[in-house]
Every structure is written in structure tokens, then in C-alpha cells.
């Protein structure tokens, strides 16, 4: 198969959660165990940092990777989902996995794929582990896909585990309370493996304390450092990264922590997170997609001097839209759209929501056309925000892929 044929096979033959939703989710790690056994268990020959949490896990992983590669380490990075290029998921020192490696790997494991019918995510996790092993990385940073306890990435035995924070998201799969979701995320806490918690949350603090005690694992709540970060919501993730680095130093890694803290703002830019794609009018894309994320970006909006806010918005069909839109400026102009994936909420259904909230809105199916309309209607001193869905942001990012 060619690279294009290989991707078509992965998308068409394997269940893809990010595009299909619940139907593609597998509630155990049996398939990843079979896949890894088939490729001689590469996960047993690598050092890992495992990062979970509701929000900020991707940013934390990317910032950590940015910092560590400047310490002359060969760092593998696995994140999901991707925005517009499948190879975004698997990188070494910011270089994407080679297309030929992907095609050869899928050809190699085709017999086991046909036998056990794994999900798209399970195959990509196996691919990342095999790639990092073959490329002899010094360390691999692995972002949890969904939850933790039953996530395919939980096959690894990390040197450090991290949970950034916990809030309500994917409640149909992880539970309808923060405590239930925290219990699932605590599933990545391993025996005698230090665990860092990015945000100390009173309601769920004891869940992590008890799990760490049971596993005889050192528990660390990330400290707050006096650092200046743009956007400000990345400060929590930067603090978590610094806590990880301090623990790595304890483990014998040679890291210039003072220099990193001094220059941490240079490492903050993460694809899909507060990316400025135009200055007049100021146009920012951010893939916030749940309540906690929307609260954070709206704090950022309030910090920016501007005349009027234009919001290009689309989301998945399982989101509480009316509740989340209440966090945005009431007097803003909204452009409701629909990303080109099955899970996207039909843009026409925003009509009732817009009417109920009594907001100024326009319905435009294409995210790019919605953005172009917003740009045409905005004044030079206005602010345009594109948000609500990773897939929506991905469609816009593809046009501005030099970010």
C-alpha cells in the first residue's frame, strides 16, 4: 500500500473515536497487549513520562518536549488527535514520523489487525511505541487518549506519571461526576512510580492521595512559580512542566532548570492553542472544547483591548452548547459552523440555541467560510476567536499550516 492507501485503510477499516464517537471506544487494554506482543513489546524497552488529565495534557506534553530536546535529549512525543496531518501524532524532537515507516508498520501488523480488529487509536499507540523503540529515543512522552485506567496508553510503565487536572468531559464514557472521572484518570498511577498532579482540587484530592498510597507512589502537587506566560492559561501547564523537570533532576537527568524557567515563555507555542493567525483584525484560534477550556479562553478575551468580539464556533454533538456559550461575550457576533466529521453538531441546530440566548448569529456550514465572513465583517480593532472543536480548528489550521 502507498501512504495514502494506508491512511485510507486506517480510517475506513478501523473504528476512529475522534470521528465516530462512542461506537469506536474500547473499554479495555486487551487489544493493545496483543498488538504489542506481536511487535515484541517495545514498551518494555523504553523510558516514558505518561500525561493524563481533562485539559492541558497535550500542551504539557508539547512544552515538556520543547524543553527537553534543548537539553540534548532525543525525545519522542505521542499526542492525539491530530489537526490535519496524521503524522502530528508521532514525533521525535518536533520531526514527524516518516510516511514510509507508517506504511511498512501497517503492512507488518496486518495479520494481527485482521485477527483482532483493533481500533484506530490502538494501532496508533502501537505504532508510536514501535517507532520510538526503533529510533532509540532517550525518553518518550505519551499523552493519554481518553480517561486513563482503560486507555491503550496505560500499557506503558513510566518513570513519572502526570495528571494535569480534572473537569467534566466525556461524561458518557468516564462518569457523570468529577469524582468518577478522577477515579478513571487515577488509573495511570503505577506502583512505586511518582505522580504529579497539575492542579490541586479539593473535591478530588483524596482520590489521588489514596491511590498513590495504595501503589506506594510519591505524590507531588505542582507548585506555582512566578513566571510570565502568554496566554496566561498556559501558566498552570508550565508549572506542571517545571515540577516534572525537578523530579527528573532528582532521577539523575542533567537539566538547567534556572535557564528553562527564565525562558519558559519561548516554549509555550502549541499548535491549536491560542495561535494568532492575523493581527488586524486580531484573529486567534484555540481548540478549547469543554467548559473548563471555555472559561480559560474567555479570561484571555477580557485581557485583550478590542472593540467587538466575533466568535466562529462549532462543536461535537455531545457538548452542552447553551451552557458553554454563556461563558462568551453576550454582545459578541457568532458564526456557527460545522467541521467535516461525523461527530460534529449540525450547524442548523444552533438556530434554536442562538434564538434562546438572544444573541447575534449567522449560520454558515463551512468553518473556513465562517471565518472569512467574520473577517469581512470585523473592524480592524475587533477580535475574532475560532473555537469549540479540535476538528473545527484543524480545518482552519490547515490553511495556516506554517504555524
Strand stretches in 129-209, DSSP E: 139-143, 160-163, 195-197
Angle between helical axes of 30-38 and 120-134 (0-180°, round to 10) = 40
**Which of 42, 25, 293, 36 is closest to 184 using CA atoms?**
25
Report how far residue 123's alpha carbon sits from residue 83's, in angstroms, rounded to the nearest whole number: 18
Beta bridge partners, 143, equal 51
Q: Is-contact 148 52, C-beta < 8 A?
A: yes
Strand stretches in 1-138, DSSP E: 48-52, 75-78, 90-92, 95-96
Report how far residue 259's alpha carbon sits from residue 392's, in angstroms, rounded to the nearest whole number: 36
Residue with cell 502530528: 88
Q: Is-contact 360 334, C-beta < 8 A?
A: yes
Residues 86-138: tens digit of each pLDDT: 999 999 999 999 999 999 999 999 999 999 999 999 999 999 999 999 999 99
Terminal-residue alpha carbon distance, the chain:
31
Residue 402's pLDDT is 55
**CB atoms closer than 10 angstroms to residue 253:** 15
Residue 343's pLDDT is 87
Report how far residue 321's alpha carbon sits from residue 55's, in angstroms, rounded to the nearest whole number: 18
Report how far residue 346's alpha carbon sits from residue 243's, in angstroms, rounded to the nearest whole number: 42
CATH number of 3-267: 3.40.1190.10, 3.30.160.270, 3.20.20.80, 3.50.50.60? 3.40.1190.10
Q: Model's pTM, two decimal places?
A: 0.93
Write out the H or E segment, with its range, that includes residue 335: strand 333-336
CATH number of 275-399: 3.90.550.10, 3.90.190.20, 1.10.3720.10, 2.60.260.20? 3.90.190.20
Residue 175's pLDDT is 72
Strand stretches in 69-191, DSSP E: 75-78, 90-92, 95-96, 139-143, 160-163
Write out the H or E segment, with its range, that includes residue 247: helix 235-250
Residue 403's pLDDT is 45
Boundaries of every domain in the chain: 3-267, 275-399
Residues 291-322: tens digit of each pLDDT: 999 999 999 999 999 999 999 999 999 888 99
Residue 16's pLDDT is 65
Report how far residue 129's alpha carbon sits from residue 140's, in angstroms, rounded to the nearest whole number: 9
In this prediction, the residues of the chain whose per-residue pLDDT falls under 50 are 20, 24, 403
Amino acid at each position: 500500500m502507498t501512504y495514502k492507501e494506508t491512511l485510507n485503510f486506517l480510517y475506513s477499516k478501523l473504528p476512529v473515536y475522534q470521528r465516530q464517537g462512542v461506537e469506536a471506544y474500547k473499554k479495555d487494554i486487551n487489544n493493545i497487549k496483543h498488538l504489542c506482543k506481536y511487535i515484541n513489546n517495545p514498551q518494555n524497552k523504553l523510558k516514558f513520562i505518561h500525561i493524563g488529565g481533562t485539559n492541558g495534557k497535550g500542551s504539557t506534553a508539547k512544552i515538556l518536549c520543547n524543553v527537553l530536546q534543548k537539553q540534548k535529549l532525543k525525545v519522542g512525543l505521542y499526542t492525539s488527535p491530530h489537526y490535519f496531518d496524521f503524522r502530528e501524532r508521532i514525533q521525535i524532537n518536533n520531526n514527524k514520523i516518516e510516511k514510509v515507516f507508517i506504511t511498512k508498520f501497517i503492512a507488518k501488523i496486518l495479520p494481527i489487525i485482521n485477527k483482532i480488529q483493533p481500533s484506530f487509536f490502538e494501532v496508533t499507540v502501537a505504532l508510536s511505541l514501535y517507532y520510538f523503540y526503533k529510533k532509540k529515543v532517550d525518553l518518550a512522552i505519551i499523552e493519554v487518549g481518553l480517561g486513563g485506567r482503560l486507555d491503550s496508553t496505560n500499557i506503558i510503565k513510566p518513570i513519572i506519571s502526570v495528571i494535569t487536572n480534572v473537569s467534566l468531559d466525556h461524561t458518557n464514557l468516564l462518569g457523570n461526576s468529577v469524582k468518577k472521572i478522577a477515579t478513571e484518570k487515577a488509573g495511570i498511577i503505577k506502583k512505586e512510580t511518582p505522580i504529579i498532579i497539575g492542579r490541586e482540587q479539593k473535591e478530588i484530592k483524596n482520590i489521588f492521595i489514596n491511590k498513590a498510597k495504595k501503589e506506594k507512589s510519591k505524590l507531588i502537587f505542582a507548585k506555582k512559580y512566578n513566571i510570565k506566560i502568554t496566554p496566561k492559561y498556559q501558566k498552570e501547564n508550565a508549572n506542571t512542566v517545571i515540577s516534572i523537570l525537578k523530579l527528573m533532576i532528582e532521577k539523575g537527568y542533567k537539566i538547567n532548570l534556572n535557564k528553562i524557567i527564565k525562558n519558559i515563555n519561548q516554549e509555550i507555542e502549541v499548535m491549536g492553542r491560542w495561535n494568532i493567525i492575523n493581527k488586524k483584525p486580531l484573529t486567534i484560534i484555540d481548540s478549547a472544547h469543554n467548559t473548563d477550556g471555555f472559561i480559560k479562553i474567555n479570561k484571555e478575551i477580557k485581557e485583550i483591548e478590542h472593540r467587538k468580539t466575533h466568535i466562529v464556533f462549532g462543536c461535537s454533538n455531545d457538548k452542552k452548547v447553551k451552557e458553554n456559550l454563556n461563558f462568551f461575550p453576550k454582545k459578541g457576533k457568532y458564526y456557527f459552523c460545522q467541521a467535516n466529521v461525523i461527530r460534529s453538531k449540525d450547524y442548523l441546530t444552533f438556530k434554536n440555541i442562538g434564538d434562546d440566548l438572544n444573541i447575534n448569529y449567522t449560520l454558515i456550514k463551512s468553518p473556513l467560510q465562517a471565518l472569512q465572513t467574520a473577517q469581512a465583517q470585523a473592524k480592524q480593532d475587533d477580535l475574532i476567536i475560532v473555537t469549540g472543536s479540535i476538528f473545527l480548528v484543524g480545518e482552519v489550521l490547515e490553511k495556516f499550516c506554517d504555524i
